[in-house]
Amino acid sequence: MQPGKGHLMIQFDAVHKRFPNGTTAVHDLSLEMPEGGVTVLVGSSGCGKTTTLRMINRMVDPTSGTIRVGGRDVLEQDAADLRRSIGYVIQQSGLFPHRTVLDNIATVPLLLGWGRRKARSRAAELLETVGLSAEAGKRYPHQLSGGQQQRVGVARALAADPPVLLMDEPFGAVDPVVRTQLQDELLRLQKELNKTIVFVTHDIDEAVRLGDRIAVFRTGGHLVQCATPAELLARPADDFVADFLGAERGLKLLSLTSLKGIPQAPAPEGGTWELVLDGARKPLHWRTGPTGAGSAPSDSGTTELPVRPLRDTDSLLAALNESIASPAGLVARVDADGALTGVTSRDEIHRHAGLAHAEALVA
Ligand SMILES: Nc1ncnc2c1ncn2[C@@H]1O[C@H](COP(=O)(O)OP(=O)(O)OP(=O)(O)O)[C@@H](O)[C@H]1O
């Protein structure tokens, strides 16, 4: 199934899906998904995202058109074999309630005839990969939190090391904090594993965060635009896409640019606001003296306000936010150990925000 780097892993060619009740779920879809990339399918409810996803592993068959996975027409492959060779993660994790977590993860390897010992040892390895303890493997799904269950769902989908992973709103049912953690984990895993991932979500921020390419659908199963996140945000194809991306699409674009390369200056000394560091040069807070600006003075007449230092890997959006929150209008920049490397002014952040936009428009 693996055609090699740089190839297209999944190809939809003029695919239609009309259900027996007359609903057209997918309309004349031609879409290519490169190997090792994350393609995110977004769009309002009922626009055909799930149907598109499920046609890849033949949980739904197209009415017409061709879908190829690894260069082979899916309709020429046995549906059960195809399903076992493609990882599948859904919103409610879909775990078997009466099997332990370890046995859940071992499901596909066992179906593939790996033998109990090998399947369980692979499952144990995957528990660690997705950040769960060995002890969690002995529990039953209901004894885990929603976020942990989703991790098990991902581990189960990865168990037979499939080249393709289908994820249908996998993080839709967890709170925003856990959701961000799961997204981070997926990005980390993907760096190592380089799977071809097709990911369905309603959440445009999740799409921008995770996608190498984003396909926007509208009702009736029409694909409106498929582009990189930067291209989509800078140049939406029409008003539908622009509305879907939301009024803050300019700010979302800034989430794609890191602070690396944006100039820093030494932290100011003797100004109204001083950046206080600890012994390891880690920023602690901004402080102003009795005569300085600021609010809520402490007993000693000084005021301390929080600082949120940023690394080169943080985004321009985070920097813009911090530059507004910072009483000094300065963003404290730190190295990987958290030690201060310099500061960047609000004006400089604004200037680079403008440049990032200009670059995205002409890219
Ligand atoms: N088995 C089915 N029989 C008839 N109609 C169906 C069937 N499955 C889906 N549909 C219809 O096809 C359309 C597309 O559904 P689909 O689930 O693919 O959309 P979706 O974009 O994933 O929606 P959501 O975001 O709400 O999950 C909808 O109008 C849906 O009602």
For the chain, give the longest Cα–Cα distance: 79
- Residue with CA nearest ligand 1 atom 29: 46
Is the CB of residue 172 below 6 angstroms from any atom belonging to ligand 1? Answer: no
Question: For a pocket test of ligand 1, which of 51, 59, 200, 216 has the largest count of ligand atoms closer than 8 A to its C-beta?
Answer: 51
Q: Verify that 82 and 178 share a domain, yes or no.
A: yes
Ligand 1 center to 172 CA (angstroms): 17
DSSP state of 94: T
**Cα 94 to Cα 162, 167, 172, 287, distances in angstroms:** 18, 12, 13, 52
Write the residue with the smallest CA distance to atom 10 of ligand 1.
25
Please work out whether the CB of residue 21 comes within 6 Å of at least one atom of ligand 1: yes
Give distance in angstroms: CA of 52 to centre of ligand 1: 10
Q: Is residue 22 part of a domain?
A: yes
Question: Does residue 267 lie in a domain region?
Answer: no
Question: What is the pLDDT at residue 2?
Answer: 44
Kind and range of the H or E element at 191?
Answer: helix 176-193
Does 51 contact ligand 1 (Cβ within 6 A)? yes
Length of the chain as a residue count: 363
Environment class of residue 300 by beta-carbon count within 10 Å: exposed (0-12), middle (13-18) or buried (19+)? exposed
| Beta-sheet pairing, 283-288 with 86-90 | unpaired
What is residue 269's predicted lDDT score, i.e. its pLDDT?
81
Say if ligand 1 is within 6 A of residue 48 CB: yes
Q: What is the pLDDT of residue 290?
A: 60
In the chain, the number of structural domains is 2
Return d(Cα 57, Cα 80) in angstroms, integer. Answer: 9
Confirm whether 164 is domain-assigned. Answer: yes
Q: With CA atoms as reference, report the closest residue to 141 among 131, 133, 153, 129.
A: 153
* Structural domain includes residue 266: no
- Domain enclosing residue 165, as ranges: 8-254
Task: List the one residue out of 318, 344, 346, 333 whose CA is nearest residue 282.
Answer: 333
Q: Are residues 241 and 279 in the same domain?
A: no
- The domain that contains 199 carries what CATH number? 3.40.50.300
| 202 & 336 share domain | no
Evaluate whether residue 1 is within a structural domain.
Answer: no
Claim to verify: residue 146 and residue 28 sit in the same structural domain: yes
How many Å apart are CA 130 and CA 127, to the nearest integer? 5
Q: Tell me, what's the pLDDT at 295?
A: 46
Q: How far is the CA of 226 from the centre of ligand 1 (A)?
A: 20
Q: What is the pTM of this model?
A: 0.86
**SS3 category, 30:** strand
Indicate which residue's Cα is closest to atom 28 of ligand 1: 46
pLDDT at residue 172, as a whole number: 81
Which DSSP symbol is given to 258?
A: B
Instruction: Per-residue pLDDT tens, the chain, 363 aa: give them.
Output: 444 456 889 999 999 999 999 999 999 999 999 999 999 999 988 999 999 999 999 999 999 999 999 999 999 999 988 988 898 888 776 788 899 999 999 888 888 888 888 888 888 888 888 888 888 889 998 998 888 888 898 888 888 888 999 999 988 877 888 888 888 888 988 888 899 999 999 899 999 999 999 999 999 899 999 999 999 999 999 999 999 999 888 899 999 999 999 999 998 887 888 999 999 999 999 998 665 444 455 556 788 999 999 999 999 999 999 999 999 899 999 999 999 999 999 999 999 999 988 888 877
Radius of gyration of the chain (CA): 24
pLDDT of residue 64: 96
